[in-house]
Amino acid sequence: MSKKTFSKRWLLTVTASCLIAVPSVLPDSTYSAAAQTPTVLSQGISGTAVTELQHNLRSLGYFTYPNATGYYGQYTVQAVRAFQQAYSLPMTGAADGTTRTALSRALVKKSILADAKRYIGTPYAWGGSTPAGFDCSGFIYYLLSKQGVPMPRTSSSVMAGMGFAVDRDRLMPGDWVLFGLNEPGVVSHVGIYMGNGEFISATRSAGIAIQKLDSSYWGPKYLGARRYY
């Protein structure tokens, strides 16, 4: 995990979903600092690190060879390039520290989304961040905390400034999607993108639910996306 740079100040955040005083902790949320791992896996290398890389790429749907071989051949190069393209990384085909950190984060987000489905139907609770009841930001805070991802307990409007912006056509599972439900252009709701045009979030009407990003209700209210981790 990359080293986080912290700036601390107390915020009193008022949104449609929560009212919470919290310290603002904003990680850089980029992959540039992740190159602390000096080892670069590239074509022609063999070993257990390559086997692990192939298993991880397979778990995310990028490595399609019938089995992990432990040899960094053309199939592995193609899989790494496809992953790098999806996550807007330099398409070198070599798994450097930056790429491997992005890969490990993608696996964590896959686990977060699998866990999120367990709470479908959990009721909405203003300010809630436990399985007894969630609001939109509290749900994401709870899920990330369970996976050991550091994040402040804050609001959707503050989350709109965390991490970095992601274009809609570059959305990947685990990205945050932002909506303005009350005032046009003002973020008041956040969910987690699941892929295939769907996201999961805490809604007042249905509690934790999976919704279509381009539905007649959510589509016009979409304001953007962020990649925090």
- Residue of 53, 90, 87 lying closest to 69 (CA atoms): 53
- pLDDT of the residue at 41: 97
Mean pLDDT, consecutive 10-residue stretches, the chain (229 aa), reads 34 32 35 51 96 97 95 98 97 97 97 98 97 98 96 96 96 98 94 98 97 97 97
- pLDDT of the residue at 116: 98
Q: Where are the domains of the chain?
A: 10-31+111-227, 38-95
Sign of the alpha-carbon dihedral angle for 177, 193, 49, 75: negative
The answer to whether 160 and 168 are in contact (CB under 8 A) is no
- pLDDT of the residue at 3: 36
Separation of alpha carbons 8 and 104, rounded Å: 27
- Residue of 88, 63, 78 lying closest to 175 (CA atoms): 88
- pLDDT of the residue at 87: 95
Tell me which DSSP letter residue 87 carries. Answer: T
CATH number belonging to domain 10-31+111-227: 3.90.1720.10
Q: Does domain 38-95 have CATH number 1.10.101.10?
A: yes
Q: What region does 132 belong to: left with phi over 0, alpha with psi -120 to 50, or beta?
A: alpha
- pLDDT of the residue at 218: 97
- Residue of 112, 95, 127, 126 lying closest to 176 (CA atoms): 112
Q: What is the pTM of this model?
A: 0.81
pLDDT tens column, 49-89: 999 999 999 999 999 999 999 999 999 999 999 999 999 99
